[in-house]
């Protein structure tokens, strides 16, 4: 079994209760059911945050700039364990100080092909503990940017980044500055 592609997503109801599983390869289409996901923003000791450009091989939002990485937990997998698993796979990166800053974030978005993302998606921040070795199947480019520059980028051109980055960023920026976000402000 391939660690990242032969797995499943955890389907949830409107209250976030698990209601089943579906093969990850089959779930993202024009009628994607609500499922668990996560997003993570990685920062360095100098405060810069990592943004990545999704590989053109990605099924959803290929070639789009987004947060550091995101993905789907497996059934019974704790959120922080999922974050570490994906960081190693997508970025070849070890993390420290992983913390959830928007535990109740949820979004639904449709990409240019009509594919829907529909996720209950806790958002994490974490500090990089070493260098990057991006997996080219996942990441085609990456940049370290200041939180201020990222905020200006998204404010000026929200269409140039993933919709989840644009929606999450107001709650993530205070956490990158050491503050506490107000998760309730960002619930749909």
Look at residue 78 and give its three-state secondary structure. Answer: coil
Residue 159, judged by CB atoms within 10 A of its CB (0-12, 13-18, 19+), counts as exposed
Active-site residue flag, 70: yes
Instruction: Please identify which of the residues 119, 121, 138, 167 carries the catalytic annotation.
Output: 119
Helix (H) or strand (E) holding 142: strand 139-145
Q: Please, which residues have CB within 8 angstroms of residue 70's CB and are 6 or more apart in sequence?
A: 37, 38, 39, 40, 86, 121, 164
Active-site residue flag, 119: yes
Q: Helices 147-156 and 163-176: crossing angle, nearest 10°?
A: 150
The single residue listed with the structure tokens 């599983």 is 21
Catalytic residues: 70, 119
């Amino acid at each position: 079994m391939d660690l990242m592609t032969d797995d499943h997503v955890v389907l949830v109801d409107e209250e976030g209760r698990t209601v089943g599983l579906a093969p990850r390869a089959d779930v993202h289409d024009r009628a994607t059911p609500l499922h668990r996901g996560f997003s993570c923003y990685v920062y360095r000791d100098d405060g810069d945050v990592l943004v990545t450009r999704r590989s053109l091989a990605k099924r959803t939002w290929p070639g789009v700039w987004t947060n550091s990485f995101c993905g789907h937990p497996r059934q019974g997998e704790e959120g922080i364990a999922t974050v570490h698993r994906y960081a190693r796979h997508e970025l070849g990166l070890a993390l420290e100080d992983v913390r959830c800053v928007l535990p109740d974030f949820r979004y639904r978005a449709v990409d240019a092909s009509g594919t829907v993302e529909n996720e209950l998606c806790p958002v994490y921040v974490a500090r990089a503990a070493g260098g990057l070795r991006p997996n080219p199947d996942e990441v085609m480019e990456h940049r370290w940017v200041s939180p201020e520059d990222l905020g200006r980028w998204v404010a000026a051109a929200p269409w140039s980044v993933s919709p989840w980055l644009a929606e999450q960023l107001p709650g993530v920026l205070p956490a990158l500055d050491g503050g506490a976000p107000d998760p309730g402000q960002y619930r749909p």
